[in-house]
Amino acid sequence: MHDKTLAELKRSLDAGEFSSRELTQHLLGRIDRLDGALNSFITVTYDQALAAAEAADAARAAGKAGALTGLPLALKDIFCTRDVRTTAGSRMLDNFIAPYDASVVEKLAAAGTVSLGKTNMDEFAMGSSNENSHYGPVKNPWDFAAVPGGSSGGSAAAVAAGLVPAAIGTDTGGSIRQPAAFCGITGLKPTYGRVSRYGMIAYASSLDQAGPMARSAADCALLLNAMAGHDLRDSTCVQRGVPDYTEELDTPLAGLKIGLPREYFGDGLDPQVEAAVRDAIRVFESLGASVREVSLPHTHYAIPAYYVIAPAEASSNLSRFDGVRFGHRCANPADLIDLYKRSRAEGFGDEVKRRILIGTHTLSEGFFDAYYKKAQQVRRLIRQDFLDAFEEVDVLMGPASPTPAFDLGANKDPVSMYLQDIYTIAINLAGIPGMSVPAGFVGQRPVGLQILGSHFTEARLLNVAHQFQQGTDWHRQRPAFAEENA
If one counts every other C-beta atom within 10 angstroms of the C-beta of residue 324, the result is 12
- As a whole number of angstroms, the distance between CA 10 and CA 24 comes to 13
The answer to whether 449 and 399 have CB atoms below 8 angstroms apart is yes
CA 299, distance to chain mean position in Å, is 21
- As a whole number of angstroms, the distance between CA 421 and CA 358 comes to 18
Nearest-CA neighbor of 299 among 182, 218, 386? 386
Pairing of strands 434-442, 186-189: antiparallel
- 345 CB-near residues (< 8 Å, 6+ apart): 353
In the three-class reduction of DSSP (H, G, I as helix; E, B as strand; rest coil), residue 240 is classed as coil
Establish whether 76 is a catalytic residue: yes
- As a whole number of angstroms, the distance between CA 448 and CA 178 comes to 8
Alpha-carbon distance values, 102 to 75, 86, 446 (Å): 11, 11, 32
- 138 CB-near residues (< 8 Å, 6+ apart): 38, 39, 40, 120, 130, 147, 148, 153, 154, 157
Establish whether 353 is a catalytic residue: no
- As a whole number of angstroms, the distance between CA 221 and CA 189 comes to 12
Which residue in 20, 151, 155, 454 is the catalytic one? Answer: 151
The continuous run of DSSP H or E covering 167 comes out as strand 166-170
Which residue in 103, 175, 315, 343 is the catalytic one? Answer: 175
First to last CA, the chain: 9
Pairing of strands 210-214, 166-170: antiparallel
Which residue in 10, 76, 107, 118 is the catalytic one? Answer: 76
In the three-class reduction of DSSP (H, G, I as helix; E, B as strand; rest coil), residue 339 is classed as helix
- As a whole number of angstroms, the distance between CA 165 and CA 214 comes to 6
Establish whether 175 is a catalytic residue: yes
- As a whole number of angstroms, the distance between CA 216 and CA 456 comes to 20
| Angle formed at CA 154 by CA 431 and CA 306, multiple of 5 degrees | 30
Just list the catalytic residues.
76, 151, 175
